[in-house]
Structure 1
Amino acid sequence: MSYSDVIDLLVEQNDEIRRLCAGVERSQGVQRERQFAELARLVHLHERGERAVVHPAVRNGTAAANLIGVARMVEGAAIERSLVTLHELGTRHPGFGSGFAALYRAILEHATREELDEFPILRVQVPVQRLHMMAGELHDVQVMAAD
């Protein structure tokens, strides 16, 4: 699939992450395990790409933009730690549901903050051609991380 720029690619990934979260929430058993594994994989790749390509571009702007970039990095790291904890617990554990509910809220808030805070900064401070190049860089980082 061809993306206009890195922001379009990230919005598409956020939408897929939201869809997978809803799938985990409403599924059980083997289907929940599969959905959760796919969610964990996508979140890992998404965050890896953002750390390598997106957050540095945001942080190269103003002091306020730097703080926003750092905040998104901290949130992303916390989400990844929660995914690992829930994976170790297992989807059939009695505590998985409440732990996942908290993670789901954190993921939704994180994606919303990216879309409302970070992406507008990129649109303003990064030239359009660079945003197009960043989509390729993000894709490359994610392909390498998937191996």
Structure 2
Amino acid sequence: MSYRDVVDVLLEQHDELRRLCAAVERSPGDEKARRFDDLVEAFRLHERGEQSVVHPAARDSSAAGNRIGLARMTEENSIERSFEGLRNLGAGHPVFDRAFTPVYRAVLEHLTREELDEFPVLRLYVPVQRLHMMVGELHDIQVMDAA
């Protein structure tokens, strides 16, 4: 029997974030605003879980893991500030799409960096049992933060 670990769960969440970004880009009018709100909330919950559970594990694993975890947290904070600026602008604003494009790109680059840099560190340095336990911790943080 195969059990999912926290990296598997995060990869599924990354796929969902990519789908939500694409949905914002291609949606019209009020639907674009709804999709954007969905994206912002999904990103927020995803990152709260990572910041509470995943990045600390990576940072504690090695010097490289520490650098990688800090870099990802810096990117996350920048993306969240960009989302706030877009939210203040409003999805109906004539420049929203043009302003969303670099944020979309930043999200994709951030997710890819986690997948290429941070997730391998977790799988290399964090014991398998711990990676499995982190699934429950991640879930609990995200559920509590969504409430």
Q: By the TM > 0.5 criterion, same fold? A: yes
Is contact 2:61-2:122 (8 Å) kept?
no
Aligned to 2:69: 69
Q: Distance in 1 between matches of 2:86 and 2:94?
A: 11
Cα deviation 1:18-74 (Å, max 9, x = unaligned): 001000001111111111010000000011000000000000122221111100000
Partner SS for 1:59: helix
Specify every segment of 5 or more residues in structure 2 that has no aligned partner in the other structure, as ranges.
Answer: none
Aligned to 2:81: 81
Residue type at the aligned position of 1:121: V
Partner SS for 1:4: coil
Specify every segment of 5 or more residues in structure 1 that has no aligned partner in the other structure, as ranges.
Answer: none
Aligned to 1:103: 103
Q: Distance in 1 between matches of 2:126 and 2:61?
A: 9
1:1-147, aligned counterparts within 5 Å?
4-147=4-147
Pairs aligned (count): 145
Q: Distance in 1 between matches of 2:83 and 2:5?
A: 28
- When normalised by structure 2's length, the TM-score is 0.96
Stretches of 4+ aligned residues off by more than 4 angstroms = none
Partner SS for 1:40: helix
- When normalised by structure 1's length, the TM-score is 0.96
Cα deviation 1:99-144 (Å, max 9, x = unaligned): 1101000000000000000000000111111101101100100001
Residue 88 of structure 1, CA deviation: 1.1
Is contact 2:17-2:42 (8 Å) kept?
yes
* Root mean square deviation, CA, Å: 0.9
Partner SS for 2:19: helix
